[in-house]
Amino acid sequence: MNTISTLNFEGFGELFPEITGLTQPFWDGLAQGEVRLQKCAACGTHQYPAESFCYACGAQAMSWVKVAGEGTVYSFIVVHQVYHKLFKAFMPYTVAIVQMDEGPRMLSAMLGLQKPIAIGDRVKPCIRVVDNERAFLTYVPVNQ
């Protein structure tokens, strides 16, 4: 059971990056409950962050696709310092680099963990809703 889902993410909108035409599909996907990555039509590589061309082959043939987004913990830190007031309710929290099964690595907060994670642990996306238009991607352990 994911106890963090009852928490309020009001105010987190101020932490969002500038959303550009290039990144809009990623954020739209999260708002619709989907994890989306760019996929190259020429070589099939998934990529993140978004770019107008493929990092693997250089083709300008990128489109957005829905993905499962699961993966493994590649690296992580546990944050004990309150760097921003909005994270105070989540202390301490984990910031992980997730090796997605689709290929890209995703930097992600892991909030409300029931027990410490370890490198190699299986994780899955947990989309956090801020308001009617915005949501952000976090990860949780597969077995939590």
Contact 24, 16 (CB under 8 A): no
Q: Pick from 23, 28, 31, 42 the residue near Zn ion by CB under 5 A.
A: 42
Q: Pick from 7, 22, 43, 77 the residue near Zn ion by CB under 5 A.
A: 43
**Stretch of 21-29, 53-61, 90-98, 104-112 contacting Zn ion, by CB under 5 A:** 53-61
**Residue with smaller CB distance to Zn ion, 19 or 59:** 59
Count, residues near Zn ion per rule CB under 5 A: 8
37 Cα distance to chain centroid? 11
CA dist., res. 20 & res. 103, Å (int):
23
Helix or strand (DSSP H, E) at 31: helix 24-31
The pair of structure tokens assigned to 129 is 């809703």
Q: Which residues here bind Zn ion, judged by CB under 5 A?
A: 40, 42-43, 45, 54, 56-57, 59
